[in-house]
């Protein structure tokens, strides 16, 4: 494989020295970019984009071509590819988000679920990873990802997105045996899926625990973090002669940073409700931190965006171990020029914090 021309993202995740704070954006390939919307129209729909390695590569590269400041590419895919490969029948309703043709509601339903083979059942994702990696040609590292078991379980039990997760939480409390079996199968699936991405060329991986923060403290430990810990322990941590960093991101997980930092990952993602300086004091000696600007700041004028970038950098302070990112994904209505102002500000303002 081609040597990396820019590896500051990987170095920062391992708390090694960097010249400026590296930056990327969750959902950086997305609807805010006119070129993405054109590709999606050409592909026909979202799933056709995801399932065609050439289209997935095309949209992954679009933000990198527009923004030379980006220090990483992230695989263009969806967190729900695993439940789809388990036979749940993923589809997207306009204005409704993801839906499943089948739902999981009983122990028998869960016992019948297969554990997908990454090459056979999710080969289109592996092909996308290897295609993107070749196209990058060492430009920046490629991030692979998956949803967390708890997050995937919520969609499988609810049949789609939910505001209160009442079916999932009812199963958790009424039938913990069934919920643990589902989460265990998902943890096995995520582990093999991420390892498949690493073997195909992903140079770092992130686990998106989007809905873990909706659990109580005790339920989070038992039903979300325990399974992410299991995944981390089963991941390939070195490939192609260098370490493969792992990032855990629990949205609204700021109360539990100490526990998450003990899970074995190299870095924690922070949403915007955490103060990054405080997070560094709590866990920054153990892990790198990624985050954590509120994505809606990108609706503000460039000078306000720059001021908020400066505030977050100052809060983190001097030294490596910080990957700048948004506290969640960039939203579709953001002006691409504002995203560019954000990325430029990170590199311009962060040099003073690195020797």
* Known binding-site positions for substrate: 27-31, 78, 155, 210, 328
Active-site residue identified among 7, 78, 127, 209: 78
Are 22 and 12 within 8 A, CB to CB? yes
Of 7, 8, 11, 27, which one is the catalytic site residue? 27
- Catalytic site residue from 31, 66, 237, 282: 31
27 part of the active site? yes
Report the distance separating Cα 353 and Cα 355, nearest Å. Answer: 7
Which listed residue (155, 193, 220, 316) is catalytic?
155
Q: Establish whether 344 is a catalytic residue.
A: no
Indicate which residue of 40, 66, 237, 282 is catalytic: 40
Active site residue 242: no
Residue positions annotated with a catalytic role: 27, 31, 40, 78, 155
């Amino acid at each position: 494989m081609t040597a990396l021309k820019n590896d500051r993202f990987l170095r920062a995740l391992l708390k090694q020295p960097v010249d400026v704070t590296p930056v990327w954006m969750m959902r950086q390939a997305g609807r805010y970019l006119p070129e993405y919307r054109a590709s999606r129209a050409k592909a026909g729909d979202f799933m056709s984009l995801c399932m065609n390695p050439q289209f997935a590569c095309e949209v992954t590269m679009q933000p990198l071509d527009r923004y030379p400041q980006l220090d990483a590419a992230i695989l263009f895919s969806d967190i729900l590819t695993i439940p789809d490969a388990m036979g749940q029948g993923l589809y997207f309703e306009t204005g409704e988000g993801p839906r499943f043709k089948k739902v999981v509601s009983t122990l028998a339903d869960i016992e019948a679920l297969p554990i997908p083979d990454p090459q056979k059942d999710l080969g289109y994702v592996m092909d996308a990873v290897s295609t993107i990696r070749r196209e990058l040609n060492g430009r920046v590292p490629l991030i692979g990802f998956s949803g967390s078991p708890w997050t995937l379980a919520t969609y499988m039990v609810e049949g789609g997105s939910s505001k209160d997760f009442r079916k999932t939480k009812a199963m958790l409390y009424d039938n913990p045996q069934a919920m643990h079996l589902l989460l265990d199968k998902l943890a096995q699936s995520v582990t093999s899926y991420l390892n498949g991405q690493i073997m195909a060329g992903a140079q770092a991986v992130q686990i998106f625990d989007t809905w873990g923060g909706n659990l109580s403290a005790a339920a989070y430990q038992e039903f979300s973090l325990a399974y992410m810990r299991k995944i981390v322990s089963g991941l390939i941590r070195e490939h192609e002669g260098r370490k493969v960093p792992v990032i855990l991101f629990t949205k609204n997980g700021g109360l539990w940073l100490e526990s998450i930092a003990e899970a074995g990952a190299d870095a924690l993602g922070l949403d915007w409700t955490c103060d990054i300086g405080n997070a560094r004091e709590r866990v920054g000696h153990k892990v790198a931190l990624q985050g954590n600007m509120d994505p809606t700041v990108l609706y503000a004028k460039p000078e306000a965006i720059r001021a908020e970038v400066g505030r977050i950098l100052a809060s983190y302070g001097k030294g490596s171990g910080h990957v700048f990112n948004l506290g969640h994904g960039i939203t579709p209505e953001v002006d691409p020029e504002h995203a560019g102002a954000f990325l430029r500000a990170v590199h311009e303002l962060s040099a003073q914090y690195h020797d």
